[in-house]
Structure 1
Amino acid sequence: MTDDTRDLVILGGGLVGMTLALTAARQGISSHVVDRADPADLLAEGFDGRASAISTASWNLFTNIGLADQLEQHASPIASIAVNDQMKPGAIDFTPQPGEGSLGRMFANQELRRALFSAASEEPLIAWHDKAEVTRRERGPHGVSATLHDGQVLTGSLMVAAEGRGSPTREEAGLVMAKWDYSHRAIIAGLTHEKPHNQVAWEIFYPAGPFALLPMLDLPDGSHRSSLVWTVDEKDAAGTLKLSDRAFLAEVQKRMGDVLGAVTSVGERSSYPLGFHHTAKITDDRLVLIGDAAHGIHPIAGQGLNLGLRDVGALVDVISGGMRLGLEPGDAQLLAKYENWRGLDSFMVALATDGLTRLFGIPGKAASAARRLGMSGVQRTPLLKNWFMDEARGVNGDIPELLQA
């Protein structure tokens, strides 16, 4: 059976893929969205304890596609970012001046999904195929198609791979990828704690990796809450995950000191391995890679999802502009423009993140002292501090119009 032909065939309906579908729809661009997951499972309580820092630029995107009102009530603003090395003297305090706004917003991934799924289900320009497996992908001179496990054939002008780090579409296309493993694992958990976080995000660096405390909304009973992202050596990960709640909290408390007072409880723990990957090209004939299918970075700076949302804004900008000139979404000229725009920018962000990861991972007192000296220098240099804050907001560089206020 053949379904209607649409402009885009988006393979992957996660946060980046579904944001692309909605953003495209707001510009009159139709799409098929295919995802193997069951939305009910993704929205079930306790499915995913992960949270995401949404930069100012990414928030502009959500505002421009009409999601801000629905999401705002679930946002915990990031008023300040405190960075230090092993809780020792010599740190950076990134705090905007009054009137400059926050450095971003924290959301539970579940709330982002809920808003995206709700909007997508009401958008006629999106044909959403959930619980679906792709059994065949074809790209030719006149269009693309994806055959589903039930025999349904979805056709369009451009195929978009948004399946994440293990993208089968990218692998099938044979796109060359640089990759390496950090031999580290990120442990994710929700914490409740004694003191309010005052909307401060903490990034505490240890030789094994960063230890981040990200401000979340208080619970309805007034309990203060933060999201923990703790990087550990891969060889220590299994043992850390198996610790009792009491022992786990003791280890957490040791690393965070008294910044949030006593930690009173920990939610369900999850983890994922950390690595770097970046494709040499993010386009092919009638194919575009976005999000983690194109680039995977260390969560040290919280820019992974924001990098994917920047892909979304740029791709829709390029396609909508081309369609106004009479070009189809899969036109080679448009794909070349997207490649030139996003290929270098995403690669530079990925390299900078990798460099930061390696710099703060150098062990020893001398390395720690050098890092703290450098951070003290940044703390005393307003121009540098402002540049770093603009990077955190995602407003440096060539910003797609959809990510502008």
Structure 2
Amino acid sequence: MASLVKRLYTVANPPSVPKSTGPKPLLFGILGAAAIAPAALILPARSHPDVIIYAVAARSKAKAESFAKKHGIEKAYEGYQALLDDPDVDVVYNPLPNALHYEWTMKALAAGKHVLNEKPSADTAEETQRMFEFAEKKGLVLLDAYHYRFHPALKRAKAIIDSGELGVVKNVDVKMILTKGMFGDGDIRYDYALGGGALMDLGCYAMNCIRYMTSLNPTSVVAATPVAYEPASVPASYVKNVDRRMEATLGFPNDITATIACDLGVPHNFGLIPKIPKITLLVEGELGSLEMFNFVMPTLYHSITVKIKGGHTRVEKIYKGTEGKGEAWWSTYRFQLEALVDRIREREPEMWLEKQDSVDNMEWIEKVYEKSGLGSRPKSTYNAPFE
């Protein structure tokens, strides 16, 4: 209990370290005063000697200045392009709504900036492909922020599966179920025009996790069942193509099946009692199973339970990397930041997500949407003139 409390405290209050004097630290700029930015980048940067959060841009100068003052950021810009025009910015973090990922990632790359792009990559696989091809053309680093992949607990779960201890994998199941009330009616996750939907927000993790654990891409979407988001009061702009919940069954090579269930707001029991969120990964093999609780935020708390048929059961918890990098209190975002800086500095990161991984993930998200009848999220109207 003492180690848990200490770890959680340090996650929220990471130590500040002296910044590097050679080479010069990378200066990061944030597009939008997003609520996710403190956890995803600002706090992790405190303990990284090679990172300074230097600038933030928002649609209004007042909002940018307020955010900058709160988080000790030197520069505040009105409008995203103003930040991209700053020659001192080395890396851009893009946590804008999904539908804006393509436009502003392309503009950041055009300005010569490396980019950390929030998941999902964009609204379509085609846009994702174009972003990565442009980054390659410019000689820049582009990373989609599937932060959970960088934590050593995921690496350990993957190693167990790959070891053959469970035998031939037969089924993988990922559940990401949140309780009603976590997101209000006006939340961008429910806005079709901004690339909203449970599959886009939670399901992109689930799809990525299934593909990572099997080291395979699906071969088919066997079934996809959406539950439409229905706001308490229906605005004139309401579009029924937004999924509050999505369940899907996927076919894989070697007769492997996989199931996804993601829900942005499952109704309360009896309309009153909130249900406990469920974030689980289950891998079933011929010889046994592996279940991981809280695979997305393992730093907070997690468990990896391995059950061997007719044999033993064990529980593992992995908070620190085995290759010398990382502390038990490092969040998934801190591990991700370490890898990003290593890649930019032309050092080999311990974990990385390659271009094809991001493209394939969006392709199969689109295929699930197609099977469900909801269709892909709207393609960006931005025409990148510099491709």
The two structures share one fold, judged by TM-score above 0.5: no
Instruction: Tell me: higher relative CO, structure 1 or 2? Use CA pairs within 8 A at least 6 residues apart.
Output: 1
| TM-score, structure 1 normalization | 0.29
| TM-score, structure 2 normalization | 0.30
